[in-house]
Amino acid sequence: MANEPDAPQGSTLTRRYPLNVNVVKTKGVTMLTKAARICSVLVLAAIAFAPVSSQAQDGLSTRSLQRMSRAGDPTAGVANLSNVCGTIRQVTGREFLWKSEISNHINPGDPRATGPTFICNQICPKFPMAFYYSDGTLAGLVGYYGAWNVTGKARAYCAAGGAPQCFINQIYRTSRRGGRDGFVYLQTRKTAGNTACYKVRPLGRTGNAL
């Protein structure tokens, strides 16, 4: 087939291509027609501004996080719960008291007031005591703050005894996101190869201090 002649200076030459896409040559430069360009821009814009899924915002499911952790993926950023809680127990009565409400003697402006209260009874861990979400990520720490005058047993709070301040409402919300089960796991025993946790709800009262 004869070569197509160059378009004269300042003129246009239109050629029909397969799939009914018009290609225009202007001053030796081949460009998509205006309609095709607009279509391409709209597609790219839709991809660029598509909303991030709630799963991406809140994290992967617990199963996916645990699988990534077992695979040694450095981007996972989580530990398998079994690595920090070798044994998981339920509170049956008087092991300890965990409560989310503020005690009357704590000033609302005190940094301890934003977190939970832990009071020893039959079980008293070494402080500071860590507690975890169901995917094995750290939820917070409670540190020793002296004995409760009623029983003489230890009390512990966030923002005390070397533990940072924490916010129980935020802990509650996080415990329900990303495939987590809505509980926190209090690590009451931590020795080499021997860890034990109690499963509690972040809000409300669990156990008994008396």
pLDDT digits (tens, 9 = 90+) for 122-165: 999 999 999 999 999 999 999 999 999 999 999 999 999 999 99
Question: What's the whole-number mean pLDDT along residues 58-72?
Answer: 36
Q: What does R_g of the chain's alpha carbons equal in angstroms?
A: 31
Name the burial class of residue 74, with classes exposed (0-12), middle (13-18) and buried (19+) by CB atoms within 10 angstroms of its CB: exposed
CA dihedral sign, ordered 150, 153, 155, 161: positive
Instruction: Report the C-alpha gap between 140 and 133 in whole angstroms.
Output: 9
Q: Cα separations (Å) of 161 from 81, 119, 129, 158, 200?
A: 25, 14, 10, 8, 22
pLDDT digits (tens, 9 = 90+) for 105-115: 899 999 999 99
pTM of the model: 0.63
3 state SS for 156-182:
EECCCCCCCCCCHHHHHHHCCCCCCCC
Instruction: Report the C-alpha gap between 35 and 24 in whole angstroms.
Output: 12
Listed by start position, the domains of the chain span 12-48, 79-207
